[in-house]
Amino acid sequence: MTAPLQHTKQGIKFNWPAVISLLILTAIPGIPAIIIVILVLLGSGAVAGVSEAINAQYFLTPAAILTHGIAGGLFFLTMPWQFSDRIRAYHLRWHQITGRVAVMSGCVMALSGVWMHLMLSPHDLGSRFMSLIILSVAICGAFIVAVVQVIKGRIEQHRAWMMRAVALALAAITPIFTGAVLQLVFSAWTGGSEILAALHHDYDRLIAMAVNLVVVEWMLRTKLRSARENSVLAQ
């Protein structure tokens, strides 16, 4: 039994495109989060010319930023590797342990984002704050469903929900790109561009959730269609 199994594993790819893409995307908030955590732990003024560059409030109320930053750093370091088929095949135990870290850090990151907003902007409880709450609940909900699916042995459903959860987590980054597109396309529209920019600022997280989930569902449908076509050809 060992030889055929080993032979089967040899055909499993690492899936570098997905891993590297996720590493790059999560590095956008992940690396700054790690730097901010280090600076906050060192204290204000510890690194001349650098400590002054971050929000002074971080040093006054460090608990929220440290929780959010540490969770974000762990998510950045563990989550991308969950999408390597080869690691799952050859190092299942490592995949399971880091997967638990990725899920827990992702949920803590989402919830502490709300906490951080309340600490830094306690009077800003409008549409932008409500969008943050919706996003945080959606991230935690998707991760919980993914965990339930793997406990029940539904591996394909687990993978699909992990993709959705990560897509939601990356909705914190997508506004960088949607904002850039908005500025590029509508910058010449006098008056209208300001209105669109204001709407984007208030609802950018909800827009990002929709965009990211559409992309993931398209990927899942494409993968399913490809699997069905290969199955038909194999018969």
pLDDT at 55: 82
Residues 168 and 190: beta-carbon distance below 8 Å: no
Task: Give the Cβ contact number of residue 104 at 10 Å.
Answer: 16
Residues 131 and 202: beta-carbon distance below 8 Å: yes
- The stretch 106-112 carries a mean pLDDT of 97
Residues 113 and 176: beta-carbon distance below 8 Å: no
Percent of the chain past pLDDT 90, that is, above it, reads: 73
Residues 181 and 145: beta-carbon distance below 8 Å: no
Q: Please give the torsion angle defined by the CA atoms of residues 225, 226, 228 and 230, in that order, rounded to the nearest 10 degrees.
A: 160
12-53 pLDDT, tens digit per residue, is 888 999 999 999 999 999 999 999 999 999 988 777 777 777
Cα 220 to chain centroid, rounded: 18
pLDDT at 5: 42
